[in-house]
Chain A
Amino acid sequence: MTDKGNNGVDEMQVDVYTHEQRKKGSIPEGFNADYLKLYYAKLFPHVEIFKWMSYGNDGKHPARDTSYFGRREFSFTLDNDVYLRFQSFNSAAELENSIKEKCPFKIDIGPVYSVDPAKRHAYAQAGDNVFKPVERELVFDIDMSDYDDVRYCCSGADVCLSCWPLMTIAIKVIDFTLREDFGFNHILWVYSGRRGVHCWVCDGRARRLNNEQRAAIADYFRVYKGNENSHRKVSLAGPAMHPFISRSYADVLKLFFEEKLLCGQELLSTEERFQMILDMIPDESISGQLQERWKASWRPSMSKEDINIVRWGQLKHILQSGKQKAPVLRRCVEEIVFTYTYPRLDMEVTKHMNHLLKAPFCVHPKTGRVCVPIDPEHCEDFDPTSVPSLAELLEELNMAGSSNADSGWEGTSLAKSVSFFKSSFLQPLLKSCKVFLPPMPSELECQPIQLVSAGVDYL
């Protein structure tokens, strides 16, 4: 049942799509400037984004930095691919009005600079580099297309429920490590709208990291040698694995590999696929043995078990049995699991303070889906195919009726996401900001030694 409304004439007339179409979310007409205008008018959580970006400096605390929000860079990508960088705003109202007026197809968030980005040219002349980033969340970007060599269900821009577990794995491994190893607490995970996830670490300590420290964290997470040009090689050499690595393997990777990906991706079901795994075994007599066995039998006579599970069991048995003395062979099983599961980060995104990253709650132009937060505690329940889409939300607004002119996102499918953002992320974050604002002058005691870690910046 379709009833085409007059686009742009009457705000509340929205095309009605069938339930099926909405669910698939692949309607190109589900994204256009008019819909977006409505979205920014009624649904986008402007105030929450402002509060987040203010980190408590918009409050009444006498020690607040009133220039803080105004020194943050935003960038807008407009309809005709026009790209506006170094946008900055001095209040929530300015931010909201500019978004509503310009209706950007994408909003990126950059760093907080030493001075208002709008004034950067005035400072470019000074030799001492006075215009530079001073704070920026620690961010991560994980993109499913980086896993194309280990997933068979889709490739490129597509994602489905068979390969989405790779994202779940990435969230679990990285989230846990950021909290446990690095001591960070205020972490926001966001669906990128199409095929990946973003991570924003918002602790003050994280925001004050310099590029070298960010690179160190990115490298701490790195397990692959080689790049896009050479075959990715996992290197787990050594008599033992670092506790972070062994923990990730034992708690997340092994489980997901054996229980989800092995069968979900049918990693050992065809010759082409199992050969890729056999090629990772450095001992040809063993890989040869398995190869023969698997080429010969399509299905073992008795068992009703999934063939991937059976074969994996056989592989593990040979490599990990007591007979194998060579540690390199025992390590082989882990290396295979790592290759098929371990998170693949975009290092460049994490390393640079001035890297721009898409803001949460944007709508992805190609899918129409909203970039909603993901709860890391329940990330295995996240379903990218049922994320609210723009068309769906506007339809919901429509149905809520014009009597609720101010309702906004409440009452729509977006409510859950915004509530989660506020209660699980924003509130605890702002509470911690209150605690860490510098003390009042009368409370100042003798200053402790300025450590590198206290954020005194250097070249």
Chain B
Amino acid sequence: METVSAQKRKTTASEPSPSLPLYRSAPELEVSLDDFELYAIDRLRVLKAMSDGLSRGKKPDEIGALVTELWKEHMQHPNPSDVMNKDIISHFVLRLVYCRTEDLRKWFLSMETTLFRHRFRLESLEVQRMLMSEFKLPFKALSNSEFEAVKEKLGQVARSINQPLPTVDSTIFKVPFEEVPELVAGRRVYMLKGDAYVAMNQVASLVVTQFRSHLSKALVLTNRKWTSMIQEQEKDRLTPIVEALSSSYLGPDYSQPKEYAEISIKDIDRVANSSFPLCMRHLFDKLREEHHLKHGGRMQLGLFLKGVGLKLDDALAFWRVEFSKKVGTEKFDKEYSYNIRHNYGKEGKRTDYTPYSCQRIITSTPGVGDHHGCPYRHFSEENLRAALSKMGVSSRTADDVMDKVRHRHYQLACTLTFEAIHSCSCDAGINHPNQYFTESQKILQQRSQAAE
């Protein structure tokens, strides 16, 4: 059993709320290395699913329902007293994982804040009040006389946003406006001389701002500690886990292809046409056209084909056929076949490389002469429309796809394409090219079986 301590601070004696921790300081708990990783993965599932929901444009109440569902699904523990521990530990582990670059910090901050906001809202007013005081915010509620002085204006604001009128029993906080930018922006509070008058039911905004501010600073500090000390100190223990977690794609990794996905070299052209996602089709077409692909393309397509079920011998044959047209068989055998065997884990480190997920492909940066990467991201509008049309996508659908692209929802764009071509919906959304392939094949086979 080994102890995890992300920051050297004193523990708070006990958490005020039975279910919603504030993560003010790292707990002095003991956790096994396995749990260290597994707890983090479970929390990451929640955050990623939430992130997905947000980018699909789900509304706040839908997100709230989603959060409840996800929390129940992933963050439970057989031992009820460990539920809170899992919550706290997973959060702090993910801080280590996501503190290391500005993009990671931004994402994590955004997701944890959203998660906190929704969980806070679900709590009773009692608990909310308790949590508020935990933040030790020096805001006092208005006294009766103060309330009388602004009662009318408060009422006017309440009516303007369809909220119940405040009464002498309502708790109203006088707060510097900087603390509640969302409420100010929406004109949802009465403003007087720099103070915003915040009703109890708006308190979430206040607390969330504090939460985010605190976490944001904490992440910067964590990053400093990580780079200056922890990363090196833990290089044989926690560091490999932490580094793997940040790029983890949490679906199946397609390193072991399923039975019905096995294809042979004769099938390639046919399945490329029917079931490859655009990124792989493009690489495939270019390969057929130019009899060559640069390294990035060879990796992306090669690993994809492996995931799709192409055996090593078939892969070697396939690539040889194409490359030899350009560079000759001898050069192929000497220079390129090694890499293919490497991908299958037959050379060198003998790591069995896994096919790239969408996340990885989208963030790659193809240069001149490259054809890898995500076409939804990297193609010009003109080229993308042409490519979609070649795949049989109507121009109406192409418009929807372009709309997703403009908003940088590349995976949603690919999902739309999938749905258009297969004339059915794909609720899970595409996040791995091999998933696209598998789903496609499933549908086509179901249809051909039904036809028989």
Residues of A within 8 A of B153 (CB): 243
Task: Tell whether, in the assembled complex, residue A219 and residue B186 are in contact, meaning their CB atoms are under 8 Å apart.
Answer: yes
User: Closest B-chain residue to A241, C-beta based?
Assistant: B160
Q: Are B156 and A240 in contact (CB under 8 A)?
A: yes
Q: Are B185 and A451 in contact (CB under 8 A)?
A: no
Q: In the complex, are the beta carbons of A245 and B187 less than 8 A apart?
A: yes
In Å, the complex CA distance between A458 and B193 comes to: 24
Residue A271 at the B interface, CB < 8 A?
no
Q: Is the CB of A242 within 8 A of B220?
A: no
B159 contacts A451, C-beta separation under 8 Å: no
B265 to chain A, nearest CB (A): 48
Q: Which residues of B contact A449 (CB under 8 A)?
A: 136, 138
Contact of A452 among B106, B185, B209 (CB under 8 A): B209
Pick from B109, B157, B179: contact of A242, CB under 8 Å = B157
Check: B176 CB closer than 8 A to any chain A CB. Answer: yes
Instruction: Mark the stretch among B210-218, B272-280, B336-344, B406-414 that contacts chain A.
Output: B210-218
Report which of B109, B182, B186 forms a contact with A459, defined as CB distance below 8 A.
B109
Task: Kindly provide the distance from the CB of A358 to the nearest chain B CB, expressed in whole angstroms.
Answer: 27
Interface locus among A77-85, A181-189, A292-300, A412-420: A181-189
Contact B109 A181 (CB under 8 A): no
Q: Is the CB of B157 within 8 A of A209?
A: no
Do B178 and A213 touch across chains, with their CB atoms under 8 A apart?
yes
Closest to B157 in A: A242
**Cα distance A64–B109 in the bound complex, in angstroms:** 36
| A205:B162 contact, CB within 8 angstroms | no
A303 an interface residue at 8 Å Cβ cutoff? Answer: no
> B156–A458 contact, CB under 8 A?
no
Contact A213 B181 (CB under 8 A): yes
Decide if B195 touches A209 in the complex (CB within 8 Å): no
Contacting residues of chain B (189-220) with chain A, CB-CB under 8 angstroms: 190-195, 209-210, 213, 216-217, 219-220
CA distance A215 to B178 in the complex (A): 11
Per-residue CB proximity of A308-349 to B under 8 Å, as 1/0? 000000000000000000000000000000000000000000
Pair B187/A220 contact, Cβ less than 8 Å? yes
The answer to the question of A404 belonging to the interface, with a C-beta cut-off of 8 Å to chain B, is: no
B-side contacts of A241, CB under 8 Å? 156, 160
| CB of A129 closer than 8 Å to a CB of B | yes
Q: Does B352 contact A (CB under 8 A)?
A: no
Q: Is the interface of A mostly helix, strand, loop or mixed?
A: loop
Within 8 A of A (CB), among B124-158: 136, 138, 153, 156-157
Contact B159 A240 (CB under 8 A): yes
Q: Does B282 interact with chain A (Cβ within 8 Å)?
A: no
- Residue-wise, chain B 165-184 has the 8 Å CB interface mask toward A (1 for contact) of 00000000000111101101
A216 lies within 8 A of B159 (CB): no
B194 touches A458 (CB 8 A): no
Q: Are the CB atoms of A243 and B190 closer together than 8 Å?
A: yes
Which residues on the B side are within 8 Å of A238 (C-beta)? 159-162
B48 to chain A, nearest CB (A): 21
Chain A residue nearest to B217 in the complex (CB): A458
B30 at the interface (CB under 8 A from A): no
- Contact (Cβ within 8 A) B157 A459: no
Contact B136 A451 (CB under 8 A): no
Total B residues in contact with A, Cβ cutoff 8 Å: 36
> Do B193 and A220 have beta carbons less than 8 Å apart?
no
Evaluate contact between B213 and A216: CB separation under 8 angstroms.
no
- Whether B160 lies near A240 (C-beta < 8 A) is yes
Give chain A residues whose Cβ lies under 8 Å from the Cβ of B109: 459
Note all chain B residues with C-beta closer than 8 A to A242: 156-157, 160, 187
Q: How far is the CB of A215 from chain B (nearest CB, A)?
A: 7
Interface contact B181-A215, CB-CB below 8 Å: yes
In the complex, A127 Cα to B157 Cα: how many Å? 44
How large, as a class, is the contact surface on chain A?
Answer: 20 to 34
| 0 or 1 for each of A439-459: is its CB under 8 Å from B? (1 = yes) | 000000000110111000011
B112 to chain A, nearest CB (A): 13
> Which of A183, A216, A243, A448 lies in contact with B181, CB distance below 8 A?
A216
B298 at the interface (CB under 8 A from A): no
A113 to chain B, nearest CB (A): 18
Does the CB pair B193–A451 fall under 8 Å? Answer: no
Contact flags (1/0) for A60-98 with B, using CB distance below 8 Å?
000000000000000000000000000000000000000
Q: Do A451 and B184 contact each other (CB < 8 Å), given the known contacts A183-B193, A243-B190?
A: no
- A127–B223 Cα gap in the complex (Å)? 10
- Cβ of B105 within 8 Å of any chain A Cβ, yes or no, is yes
Cβ-defined contact, A452 with B187, below 8 A:
no
Specify which of B160, B176, B185, B209 is in contact with A219 (CB 8 Å cutoff): B185
Report yes or no: A452 in contact with B179, Cβ–Cβ below 8 A. Answer: yes
Q: Is A427 an interface residue (CB 8 A)?
A: no
Complexed CA–CA distance, A238 and B182 (Å): 19
User: Once the chains are docked, how many angstroms separate the CA of A459 from the CA of B218?
Assistant: 11
The distance from the CB of B154 to the nearest CB of chain A, in whole angstroms, is 9
B379-415: which residues lie under 8 A (CB-CB) from chain A?
A: none
Interchain CA distance A246-B159 in the complex, whole Å: 13
Complex Cα distance A129/B220, Å? 11
Instruction: Find out whether the CB atom of B179 lies under 8 angstroms from the CB atom of A451.
Output: yes
CB-based contact B138/A129 at 8 Å: no
The 8 Å CB contact of B191, one of A212, A244, A458, is: A244
- For the complex, give the distance between the alpha carbons of A244 and B210 in Å: 27
Inter-chain contacts of A3 with B (CB < 8 A): none
Are A459 and B179 in contact, CB atoms less than 8 angstroms apart?
no
Q: How far is the CB of A4 from chain B (nearest CB, A)?
A: 56
Contacts of B178 in A (CB 8 A): 205, 209, 213, 451-453
CB nearest to B212 among chain A residues: A458
Question: Is there a chain B Cβ closer than 8 Å to A239's Cβ?
Answer: yes
The reply to whether B191 and A181 form a contact with Cβ atoms under 8 Å apart is yes
20 A/B residue pairs, CB under 8 Å, sorted by A: A127-B102, A184-B194, A215-B185, A216-B182, A219-B184, A219-B185, A238-B160, A239-B159, A240-B156, A240-B159, A242-B157, A243-B153, A244-B191, A246-B156, A449-B136, A449-B138, A459-B105, A459-B109, A459-B219, A459-B220
> A180-B193, A216-B181 known; 11 other A-B pairs, CB under 8 Å?
A127-B102, A182-B193, A184-B194, A212-B181, A215-B181, A216-B182, A219-B186, A239-B159, A245-B187, A452-B210, A453-B178
Q: Which 7 A-B pairs have the closest CB atoms?
A: A183-B194, A216-B181, A219-B185, A453-B178, A240-B159, A183-B193, A181-B191
